Amino acid sequence: MTALLKVDGLNKRFGGNEAVKNVTFDVNEGECVVLAGDNGAGKSTVIKMISGVYQPTDGRVFLSGEQLTGKTPEAVRTAGIETIYQDLALADNLDPGLNLYLGRERTVKRMGLPFLDRKTMRDDAVEVMKSLGIVVPDPAAPVREMSGGQRQAIAIARAIHWQARLVIMDEPTAALGVPEQREVMALIHRLKAKGVGIILISHNLPDIFAAADRIIVLARGVVAGERRPAETNDEEIVRMMMGATL
């Protein structure tokens, strides 16, 4: 079985500094791989090379066998990799529908002029959110009136709606309260059930163990080790993060 995402020997040098050295791993369909590591371990650099924001100094990235290295961030998105940033990149003053379609809004012609098709976009947003198990209280209300978990769901809904095959989530629970963190964990499980691959960046141990099928620990730019949650424990992961053992 070929992996959904194949990351092969990624290196990134910034001037004389080697931020990432020979990072290799893959992600299967419906699998959640957690990239764990301390600040500065190279997690962000790795995902930026996958999403096309950085070009690797060496190494390659494949999605279902298709080489992504060298493509622009837009081309990588079109190929099916969506990145959900910590700040979610939502426009708080717009409704869920417009956020779902931001940059690709639907229009209808009236009297020969294009008008935003708010109704269809709202209906679609409600539909996708429903498939994630979230009821939108008021589809016409701006998303700033929604909870942190619901807002996260909109960002995830955007990925699903545009047929992402792999979703990269950067510290999705960092700014949330406990109940909302649970909501996000539930969302991750629903995404997996849809066959979407997930790379989750986190240094929150409970999150890591709740979500991961595999944990890949980065320390000082190299893969310090790979574990399944059932085969390991908090202590070992922390030790690996500190770069103590393999």
Partner 1 sequence: MESVAQNKGASFVKSLLNAWSWLFLILILGFFEIYAQIETGNTFIFRVYNLQSISVAASQILLLALGLTLVIVAGHIDMSIAFSSGLASVVIALVIRAAGPDAGLLIVLVAALAGFVAAAVVGVVNGWLVAYLNVPSFIGTLGTYGVARGAALIMAGGATVSIRNSYARDLGNGNILGFPIPLVIAMVLALICHYVLKHTRFGAHTYALGANPASVERAGVDVKRHLIILFVISALTAAMGGLIYTFRFSAGAANSGEPILLYAVAAVFIGGASLTGGQGTIMGTVIGAFIIAVIQFGLVFSGLPPYWQFVAVGLVIIVAVLVDQSKDRIVGGKS
Binding site for partner 1 (CB under 8 A): 74, 77, 85, 87, 89-94, 98-99, 102-105, 107, 113-116, 144-145, 147
CB of 30 to partner 1, least distance (A): 26
Which pair of tokens denotes residue 147?
Answer: 């909870």
Which pair of tokens denotes residue 33?
Answer: 């791989």
CB of 143 to partner 1, least distance (A): 10
- 93 vs 233, beta carbon nearer partner 1: 93
Cα separation, 232 vs 226, whole angstroms: 10
- 24 vs 107, beta carbon nearer partner 1: 107
Instruction: Show contacts of 23-27: CB within 8 Å, 24+ apart.
Output: 23/59, 23/218, 23/221, 23/222, 23/223, 24/59, 24/223, 25/216, 25/223, 25/226, 27/3, 27/166, 27/197, 27/198, 27/199
- 74 vs 235, beta carbon nearer partner 1: 74
CB of 244 to partner 1, least distance (A): 37
- 158 vs 227, beta carbon nearer partner 1: 158
- 31 vs 183, beta carbon nearer partner 1: 183
Cα separation, 72 vs 209, whole angstroms: 33
- 75 vs 246, beta carbon nearer partner 1: 75
70 exposure class (CB count in 10 Å sphere: 0-12, 13-18, 19+): exposed
CB of 183 to partner 1, least distance (A): 15
Contacts of 209 (CB under 8 A, 6+ apart): 229, 234
Cα separation, 20 vs 3, whole angstroms: 22
CB of 135 to partner 1, least distance (A): 16
- 145 vs 234, beta carbon nearer partner 1: 145
CB of 210 to partner 1, least distance (A): 25
CB of 50 to partner 1, least distance (A): 16
